[in-house]
Amino acid sequence: MPTNFTVVPVEAQGEERDPAERDARRQQQQQQQEEEEEEDNGERGSTGDGIARESSPFINNAEMDRGNKYEGKNMALFEEEMDSNPMVSSLLNKLANYTNLTQGVVEHEADEDTKRKEVKVPRMGTFIGVYLPCLQNILGVILFLRLTWIVGTAGVLESFIIVFMCCACTMLTAISMSAIATNGVVPAGGSYYMISRSLGPEFGGAVGLCFYLGTTFAGAMYILGTIEILLTYISPSAAIFKAEDGGEETEAMLNNMRVYGTCIIILMAVVVFVGVKYVNKLALVFLACVILSIIAIYAGVIKTAFDPPDFPICLLGNRTLSKRSFDVCAKFTESNNETKTTTLWRLFCNSSLHNATCDDYFSLNNVTEIQGIPGIMSGVLIDNLWSAYSEKGSIVEKKNQPSVSGSEDVKIGGRPYVFTDIMTYFTMLVGIYFPSVTGIMAGSNRSGDLKDAQKSIPTGTILAISTTSFIYLSCIVLFGACIEGVILRDKFGEAVNGNLVVGTLAWPSPWVIVIGSFFSTCGAGLQSLTGAPRLLQAIARDGIVPFIQVFGHGKANGEPTWALLLTAGICEIGILIASLDSVAPILSMFFLMCYMFVNLACAVQTLLRTPNWRPRFKYYHWTLSFLGMSLCLALMFICSWYYALVAMLIAGCIYKYIEYRGAEKEWGDGIRGLSLNAARYALLRVEDGPPHTKNWRPQLLVLLNLDCEQLVKHPRLLSFTSQLKAGKGLTIVGSVLQGTYLDKCTETQKAEENVKALMGVEKTKGFCQIVVSPSFRDGISHLIQSAGLGGMKHNTVLMAWPQSWKRTENHFSWKNFVDTVRETTAAQQALLVAKNIDLFPTNQERFTEGNIDVWWIVHDGGMLMLLPFLLRQHKVWRKCKMRIFTVAQMDDNSIQMKKDLQMFLYHLRLNAEVEVVEMFENDISAFTYEKTLMMEQRSQMLKQMQLSKNEREREAQLIHDRNTASHSTPAVKASVAASVPEKVQMTWTKEKFVAEKHKNKDTNVSGFKDIFNMKPNQSNVRRMHTAVKLNGVVLNKSQHAQLVLLNMPGPPKNRKGDENYMEFLEVLTEGLDRVLLVRGSGREVITIYS
């Protein structure tokens, strides 16, 4: 009699012997818990109604952990999700306590952990945090050293166009940047972070490094500006290299730049390394210098309206003279009623005597003196409207000044004229000027220190650009209205006693500008050396460019030591170039490229309408971003087309390197969204119908078999796939796991990882699809039917030949195989079956000789012709020759067949040897009869064995049912009886059981006796005859071929002969190493037409 029992856990056996006891304990615990809750609520000030209050997640109470237990009670329905998904209340609590910490590098401070226990809330507003830093970075060395020269050379109108283009470019970029910067928090890295998170790691790394190079070369430019101010305007006597001849001045100056520049860069690097916080504290001093200098310029302009400064210029004819070599602007002077020659006379004549031989031009023209700064009311603006471009080494001449040209026999190189040092033209001036409008990212780089970054960055940046644009545009007009043209074109102020040209205009003294510009360029250089290493460190720490990861390391407090060394080294390259006019276009390229991609990022995000694109700054539009991007690209090529190409090449190389190394970063970037949109658009455009014959190529569905550890059984199948596809077209690698998806979810993920890893090793470019199905057969059917999407569906199935189909325990493999053949035919898909796949070559092997033999028995649309051609594109098969064999029957003209086939191949543009094999009909051999008989006997025996196995299983089931019925209740007996088929008798006796057993045994014995007395089917004999004969011919011709391609005969219409079909294929390919059985899709895949 069965015993009623309850399974109790081992730990609880002593406690809970009875369900009633268990219920009593549960009620007691619940009551105790409710009492604790009431007591707890009383402590927190309950209302006294006795109802337990649920703790609010928004109230900062000390009992947070105790409050969490209510979530489990009230949200029991979601308790399964609690482990992975937090409650909304918990999430909001974390967000409420979030502090926007400074995410830059930690400053030099000792005991930072103890000092920073309390988080300091950032307090910088728009003015201090964004406006002033942007102002300081934008206004700089070009304003003081080159703007007057640009105005004089290009004229007021063209200079206005140059400045307007550059300022429009930065304004449009600022609008795009504001949209990106207000679409979430922007940590350290500024523009790099924005671009990389918007356009992906490849673009981010490429543009980030370009921006780093631009910032580094900017440091070099500022240092060169500092030395130019020092050696030209403050202390010319400090020059180490002196020019012995007038023509050597430029070379001597460049050498001085190199020596001083190297010293200053070492000094600055040490300062940044030792005390970076002092650099930041001095930033306000440097900014004050810039602002005071600009105020001095405006004050000087106002003063010229009623009291112009006295800066006379000496002209010989219309040529400007350098006052560094003489004092008096005259040929003769009167002293004690005696006319004496001046120093100027001796510079142009061979002696100081009146009858000395002088330069022709000096003799024919008078020496005149004019005011260098006639003032804003003088009307000089009209003369300065138009450009005055010149060649290198030409003399600076005044327009509309009378002059008599002489015979220039004597070399003018040693004369005290003011010469141009470089050839000037519009596009070159754009490249030199553009660095003066860079620096708009200063605010976004400090986003972590702002009180409200999403409000401050757009406002501060756009206000700073508006202010600086006004300063630049007004300065152009004011310079052109106040200063004489020859002074404007005098780059180094030689005609005004070596003064800084813009300094001559300033009030109260030129030294205000000189000292102010010196300190501002020093500060800008220091800040470049401070900011560039941190940018490189941010890129290195992202890990997207492997070879710069070493620069992500630094000192214990985070200072980027290695990055600083690299920055100083790259700066030194700029210093060795030594010319500010040559360095400026280089950094223009890198900044323009960075700004171009900021605009692109904004345009892409706006056009894609990605759900995460919700910037708080609303005054943007994709057309503005696109215009800004186009303007940046145009300015790059306007500045210098060869520098632009070099910058693009550098960025392209970095992009491809990151892509090649595999940037395993998923930042939700816009390029991925763009790819998805482009894929969707292309899929909708691709017609769902079959492509034209000219465009047909095998789009493969590769069916893989996996072992019990979810590893691929035949990796060479993927090798063969990559050799056949060479990365072109569609490849779907599919496999089937038997079971249900809920049970096999983990195995599916593991299988997918293994297959993808193998695809990476074998360089098979495609998609992986693992299907879980109750039966292997149905899974393959699902793959054949549903793999692919829209017009991108497979048209060819590639699979391995089931080697173990003859084994009795694996009787389903051949059934699955034959059904797959039938399904591909029904789906009008081609089928490729690789036999002996493990003997196929890997991607590393190379066949130096050998043949690919094609046995063309029936026309299959040209698949057999196309496949060897595609294989020979791969380096594994490239040196193999293609041979085509076809079989001629008794009535065929083999000679004509060969000619026709050669002509056909000629029109197909395929190179192959052609051979026609004659296969005459002859008597069927005894071997064929025997082979067929053995095949049929084996098939019949398998059927009998399967039948007897089924009956044994049924017999065991019936005995089990009988035993179960005897122990069950009458109701269970009735249900069992109802569930058993009617033909099975449930009432068993010993006699009936023995009789049934002997009956089955007799049937089986008689069945096995029939097997040995049977005669072969004539249809099977004929098919076996064809297989044996054809196999003999193929072996004779192609036994040593590297690969044999054969037409694959179709399976029989009668499903009873499926196992015989497998035997025919086995006989057909017997003795061959590598065989590819090909079954066409029923359509033409190759054409003779262009």
pLDDT in tens, 657-681: 887 776 566 566 666 777 777 777 7
* Nearest in space to 710 (alpha carbons), one of 661, 772, 657, 752: 752
- Range among 4-8, 248-252, 608-612, 878-882 rated most confident: 878-882
pLDDT at residue 319 greater than cutoff 80: yes
Q: Write the single-letter amino acid at 308.
A: P
**Helical pair 1018-1038 and 1058-1068, crossing angle rounded to 10 deg:** 20
Q: What is the pLDDT of residue 1008?
A: 44
- Determine the average pLDDT of the residues in 1046-1063: 77
Q: Which residue has the tokens 């300063």?
A: 471
d(CA 636, CA 643): 8
pLDDT in tens, 789-837: 877 888 899 999 888 777 655 555 778 888 888 888 888 888 999 998 8
pLDDT at residue 535 greater than cutoff 60: yes
Q: Which helix (H) or strand (E) holds 204?
A: helix 201-228
Band of the pLDDT at 284, cuts 50, 70, 90? confident
In percent, the amount of the chain with pLDDT more than 70 equals 73
Parallel, antiparallel, or unpaired: how do β-strands 1043-1047 and 851-856 relate? Answer: parallel
- Range among 327-336, 768-777, 954-963 rated most confident: 768-777
d(CA 381, CA 1070): 98
* Nearest in space to 622 (alpha carbons), one of 171, 166, 172: 172
Q: What is the pLDDT of residue 726?
A: 62
Q: What is the pLDDT of residue 23?
A: 55
Parallel, antiparallel, or unpaired: how do β-strands 1043-1047 and 1075-1079 relate? Answer: parallel
CB atoms within 10 A of CB 663: 22
Q: What is the pLDDT of residue 997?
A: 54
Band of the pLDDT at 986, cuts 50, 70, 90? very low
Contact 852, 1045 (CB under 8 A): yes
pLDDT in tens, 335-380: 777 888 888 888 888 888 888 888 888 888 888 888 888 988 888 8
User: Is the pLDDT higher at 225 or at 454?
Assistant: 225
Band of the pLDDT at 134, cuts 50, 70, 90? confident
Alpha-carbon separation of residue 972 from 544, 822, 967, 969, 976 (angstroms): 68, 46, 9, 5, 6
- Determine the average pLDDT of the residues in 388-409: 80
CB atoms within 10 A of CB 530: 21
Residues in Cβ contact with 1062 at an 8 Å cutoff, skipping those fewer than 6 apart = 805, 814, 817, 818
Task: Find the angle CA(280)-CA(281)-CA(287) to the nearest 5 degrees.
Answer: 85
Parallel, antiparallel, or unpaired: how do β-strands 851-856 and 881-888 relate? Answer: parallel
d(CA 329, CA 739): 104
pLDDT in tens, 899-943: 888 888 888 888 888 888 877 665 455 555 555 656 555 565 555
Contact 700, 732 (CB under 8 A): yes
Band of the pLDDT at 266, cuts 50, 70, 90? very high
d(CA 540, CA 553): 9
State the burial class of residue 19 (Cβ atoms within 10 Å of its Cβ: 0-12, 13-18, 19+): exposed
Q: What is the pLDDT of residue 261?
A: 92
pLDDT in tens, 60-75: 444 444 444 444 445 5
SS3 content of the chain, % helix, strand, coil (to 5): 55, 10, 35
d(CA 166, CA 158): 12
Q: Which value, in Å, is the radius of gyration of the alpha carbons in the chain?
A: 45
* Least confident interval from 87-96, 214-223, 574-583: 87-96
Edge-first strand order for the sheet with 830-835 is 767-773, 731-738, 700-704, 796-800, 830-835, 1075-1079, 1043-1047, 851-856, 881-888, 913-918
d(CA 746, CA 985): 45
In percent, the amount of the chain with pLDDT more than 90 equals 17
Mean pLDDT value across the chain:
77
Q: What is the pLDDT of residue 755?
A: 92
**Running DSSP on this structure, what letter comes out for residue 916?**
E
pLDDT at residue 25 greater than cutoff 60: no
3-state secondary structure of 251: helix
- Determine the average pLDDT of the residues in 23-30: 56
Parallel, antiparallel, or unpaired: how do β-strands 913-918 and 830-835 relate? Answer: unpaired
User: Is the pLDDT higher at 1051 or at 256?
Assistant: 256
Q: What is the pLDDT of residue 1007?
A: 47
d(CA 659, CA 203): 10
3-state secondary structure of 758: helix
User: Is the pLDDT higher at 266 or at 2?
Assistant: 266
Residues in Cβ contact with 495 at an 8 Å cutoff, skipping those fewer than 6 apart = 313, 314, 320, 321, 322, 323, 372, 396, 418, 486, 487
